[in-house]
Structure 1
């Protein structure tokens, strides 16, 4: 039977479990525990928005009403300045989604699994000087049943074709047929086969048929960076929280900003303090606490949660909280097709908006090329996409001439017309490991406070040169594909700055408290009634987007929490 009340000294806890956050790391925990009958409360700093609010309007996207306001809450970002020092700036770029469901509302929903080698990066490829690479305390085989569970519960579409780097699967294929494909996919496939590359269909966390009250994809083209109007995208809110929001044993408190976990003399967490919508400080007690605020903010919350047994912050007795942060290394590239020099059939096909360009390449998930390295090294993934519509943003960029002067009048009109009617931009994105190291971490900026008087997070984001080498190799492969497709222009570049999303790490899980924050069950080593279930737990991000892995691990940890509550 569910444990409705747990004693905290002589005080009964308000809830069995308190979950802080509502995104991909939080939704599965709430879904499982509420459906098991436990009494759960969820604190979310943002508001509740759903399909009624997600209109096909770029000005209404996450960049306006769904992100934290810069004047209320920001981050400090430190990056290498190129001269051996560090630049410093305040930024709002890391707020992926200030809304129930978090950044999962605005993802592109590329749902790749990690490979078995991603769990054994150190053992497989060896140490790299200057990096803090580590193996996972669990194996791919232990997480695989939860990958399968996610795909079935939230509805993943795709076609799992066999290839040299295909990860082992307990289900032969995805539960839903692939999304509709753009006609230019055929040109891409032919070009790849000419180059002896292996074009693969993309798995997406997007419904291709109605499921559990959610509609199938509308193929509007407004997907990545936009909230989903149909509910087809597998956001934590649409796929999980919608189904439990009205249950009597689930309480969702929106506009509730958690700022401190309190602990007792034994080191166990007893309550969480938060500010409500009116700025009043309140407190909630629970038997278990789950932190899932996004890597940067989860580390920040633990660092501000000082107690008698946690003088440097909860879980930070070995100074590991915030360490081993990793962004999404890689790059991006483009193929520009001049439609005025193509036949009408090709031009018409290129202009089609809606169907997905569901293709990716993983021929180089391991790079075995002596021109790059004497021994095999970890490579990555190339995803090929058409960007979602952003006409206002596009036009804003077109107003500038190459000499930096403004373009206006008829020349500007002609340039805008040509951009939208005479050419088409096809894009690829590269994903590879951002190696963890000592110059990429989260700490507190004691000289910067948010609107509630709490120190903001400082993100120090140095990069390892190995990442650049791998990313450049993959970017060059993407450019090669664009040229084989007949692009009039083909180019790419490598990222060295942190991406605004897809960050992970900061609360690495492992077996040694001296080098990790969490144990294999994602419990804080020295406070075992606190779990961290967002991407913070990941020792490395793999060479794919991490969302599916975060979902899968959160379902896995939910099982561990259920077992602890009934033991």
Structure 2
């Protein structure tokens, strides 16, 4: 059978394509490397989700090679590589039907209009490959609104200095707030900051065949057993399968996209669960494997027409990979310093904090080292959260102050104090990871996966501006914690990437010489190949990427649908 559309991957960048085209009547097939799990398969099991990494491949079977730069005695940066099977540093984010959207926290901040025109707003930054997007915020806004309705986003729009234009409020009311959210609001008001509720891709009331949030407190890195979280599987693929037009093939590892002498893709070759080679034919192909693996697949798909990899005759595939800049901060609230009522509020479990600051989404401060000549720079977002992970919290209690191992009564005493004497409030900083020549994906020439195919080698050089902005924002977050009365306040900003927030590698643009995709995310060099995960993003913005990936995939899906209906 020849399908109308073949989609490689099944997450936030893939599921809108399958949903829109299947609903329109096209015959669609989705090839997903992982298993097809449902709500019945997800448990609040910290060992499975956080310690054993049960929803991702074993690094002994499938890994990456990470290349880091070190300045050595000669003053030059030298790049050293290490396989993740040796470092245990995983760059996988959820290899199941629905992809990593099953395990996201669902912080759904939109990009701002300024994110689409960084170069024209702030100018060039030496060493950074900053470009304006080929589309505007206004072009993407209707599709953000479509995500709100069809994926299900709960929240409330409030005015603040950098509130983006919107066509409507959120279709679902905000989730229940944790009592400490009011502490954040009060402290922010005293400081002249604007505390804003965080929209979440989690249903606050049952709808679309899904239950509402059950407030277990276990969300980030956990699959949702109620279906409230807006994963691509729960929100879109389930409905697309119900049309009878979508076929999902799980445990299908695509290793090659064949193309003809014109550059058109003709077949997707994959290994099935038994390791046998299979193929699928289709008229249009959509790749959405998450940024690193999408670049790897295209680079691996060589042919006579594409000797350096599919859609890579201009040498741009894998270039300008971005993650998310920023870092974290924390402060402790000591129970003995609080009233009984405050203690009770702090001990409340389940509801989300759902509070953020975006007062410095654009920094206007001439004292900031990273500002341009006008004293301005792109800033970012600060999100507050409680981290629900008792095993990780307990780690360290097995040692005394001198680092000696303890057990028995001493261990029990340490654990008791850890869980009953204080609670830690954390924040995460999100700012741009600027694209550079030292952050990219290529095929490794030595390490292979369990099928014998070359793995992706990821160079993770970061721009110094990312750290400057992250530290500026972290200082603001720490200032708020101090106003709230927290103790032991600390922050951490580094040039290491958060591996769950990746984009770029196949940036879209109007110039075929400097971009892989056109404005509709179709490859410049192949007229039936699209890329719809975060790979298309030329810059990452200062918020988590998933909301924008969903919105763009809906936008591209409408374009593909119109072309399919016109054929």
Please tell me the TM-score bracket, short chain as reference: over 0.9
Q: Is the 8 A contact 1:202 1:358 kept in 2?
A: yes
Q: 1:89 aligns with which of 60, 63, 82?
A: 82
How big is the shift at 1:402? 5.1
Query: Which residue number in structure 2 is paired with residue 409 of structure 1?
Result: 408
In structure 2, the partner of 1:68 is 57
Cα deviation code 1:387-442 (max 9, x no counterpart): 12x22222233223454432333222111111111110100000000000000000
Cα separation, 2, equivalents of 1:506 and 1:401:
46
Is the contact between residue 173 and residue 204 of structure 2 (CA under 8 Å) also seen in structure 1?
yes
Q: Under a length normalisation based on structure 2, what TM-score does the superposition of the two structures give?
A: 0.96
Counterpart in 2 of 1:59?
A: 47
CA distance, structure 2, for counterparts of residue 324 and residue 403 of structure 1 = 45
SS of the aligned residue for 1:302 comes to helix
Question: How many residues are paired up?
Answer: 553
**Separation (CA, whole Å) in 2 of partners of 1:397 and 1:27:** 41
Q: Secondary structure at the match of 1:299?
A: helix
Deviation per CA, 1:329-388: give whole Å up to 9, x if none: 001000111112322111111111101101000000000111103421000000001112
CA distance in 2, matches of 1:104, 1:214: 16
Distance 1:107 1:82, change over 3 A: farther
Q: Find 2:8's aligned residue among 20, 23, 39.
A: 20
- Give the corresponding residue for 2:504: 505
In 2, are the aligned partners of 1:322 and 1:442 still within 8 Å (CA)? Answer: yes
2:441 alignment counterpart = 442
Is the contact made by 1:116 and 1:140 (CA closer than 8 Å) also made in structure 2?
A: yes
In the other structure, the counterpart of 2:381 is 381
Query: Quick one: distance in 2 between partners of 1:493 and 1:426?
Result: 14
- Which residue of the partner structure matches residue 9 of structure 1? none
Q: Which moved more, 1:83-92 or 1:349-358?
A: 83-92
Take 1:393 and 1:48, find their aligned partners in 2: how far apart are those partners? 29
Give the Cα–Cα distance (whole angstroms) in 2 for the partners of residues 485 and 73 of structure 1.
Answer: 45
Cα distance in 2 for residues equivalent to 1:396 and 1:245 = 43
1:41-190 equivalences under 5 Å are 41-61=29-49, 63-83=52-72, 84-91=77-84, 93-171=90-168, 173-190=169-186
Check whether the contact 1:159–1:203 (CA below 8 A) recurs between aligned residues: yes
5+ long unaligned stretches in structure 1: 1-12
Q: Is the 8 A contact 1:399 1:408 kept in 2?
A: yes
What CA distance in whole angstroms lies between the structure 2 residues aligned with 1:364 and 1:248? Answer: 48
The 5 Å alignment of 1:447-486 reads: 447-486=446-485
Contact 2:59 2:90 in 1 (8 A): no
**Matching residue of 1:7:** none
Tell me by how many angstroms 1:238 deviates.
Answer: 0.6
Equivalent residue for 1:322?
A: 318
Q: Which segment drifts farther, 336-345 or 443-452?
A: 336-345
Task: Indicate conservation of the 8 Å contact 1:54/1:61, yes or no.
Answer: no
Q: Please give the residue correspondences for 1:196-345 in structure 2 after superposition, counting only pairs within 5 Å.
A: 196-345=192-341
Aligned to 2:421: 422
Secondary structure (helix, strand or coil) at the match of 1:561 reads helix
Contact persistence 2:320–2:436 (CA under 8 A): yes
Q: Please identify, of 548-557 and 74-83, the stretch whose mean Cα deviation from structure 2 is larger.
A: 74-83
1:267, 1:308 within 8 Å by CA — same for their partners in 2? no
Query: C-alpha deviations, 1:176-204, integer Å up to 9, x for none?
Result: 11000011111111111111100001100
Deviates more, 1:492-501 or 1:245-254: 245-254
Determine if contact 1:79/1:497 at 8 Å carries over to the other structure: no
